[in-house]
Structure 1
Amino acid sequence: MKVFDLEFSTDHYYIKRSRVVEQIPFNNRTFYAKFERISEPLTPLLFQQHLNKQYTIAVPLVKNGFTDYLVLEYKGEEYLRFSHLVKHLFHTMDITKFYIYQGKDEEKIQVFIHVMHLTLEEAEKQLTEISDRLKQRLTKRWKTLPSTQLPEAYNIVTLPYNEI
């Protein structure tokens, strides 16, 4: 399914519920998931309902231990500064294939970096390098995905709402 400039091929998606739908034990921790897995392909109608904020839809980032996107999600007052800083940083790092979107709120920015079939460990290594460079200029108010520290049902990303 194509979402703006992003391409997701998945046989399932996740829909956010108002309650905890699953407790997930992982690495001696318990995660409380509010996203319910739906074992069907995402349809254009569901995506439209997501854009209309009727549902919050997420898609998995990891398939068979590999990912095609690295994601930075920033939420804070300096979202415009974050966006400009990311563009500058990526230029200096020769990262050219990235997309910046607005999340559900105006202050939420989602940055998708297109990569070619990286393992979860390689993805986390690249994200750590990017995050460390960003921390030199900005207070850390972002998260990176995917992560080896999260269970599969948490290595998901909500679909963006608007292009920036």
Structure 2
Amino acid sequence: MRILVVFESMFGATEEVAEAIGKGLAGSAPVEVVNVDKAPRDLTGVDLLVVGGPTHVHGMSRAATRKSAEDQAHDPTRSHTGVREWLDSVGTVPAGLPAATFDTRIDKARVLTGAASLGEAKRLRRRGCRLVVPAESFFVGTAPEDGLKPGEAERAEAWGAALGRIVS
């Protein structure tokens, strides 16, 4: 079984979540955690695809929202490409590929913040993937330097472990 976790991260929090999810999934099968900038465009041979990114303006990032994030960053941003663009550029997707989505967002009601994971899920379904769990959000502080809220990395690892048990 081959598991691929693809993430987009501006300030590092989403990358931290992706790594924690990968750690949780590793109990089920070998896992590759990859920045969207280096993600493969051919998913042949992938048995589970997990995709995640930060929530920007109620949904998935766009070029303009990534530019705004770069302008706020004290350090260089982690991803230059967005999950939206990567999903649109992927060529081969095995029919019925099991998939899951996650995002990072501030800890307020989803109706107020939106959730990138919902857009990711919609795009994956359009590509013929089968979502095996509901989209999940992990929470960050309101400023870029705040990072993940306490306990979120552990929650992401547990989510990854549960996801691994579901698909194995």
Q: Normalized against structure 2, the TM-score is what?
A: 0.26
Q: Structure 1 or 2: larger helix share?
A: 2
Q: Structure 1 or 2: larger strand share?
A: 1
Higher RCO, 1 or 2 (CA under 8 Å, sep at least 6)?
Answer: 2
Compare CA radii of gyration and give the structure with the larger one: 1
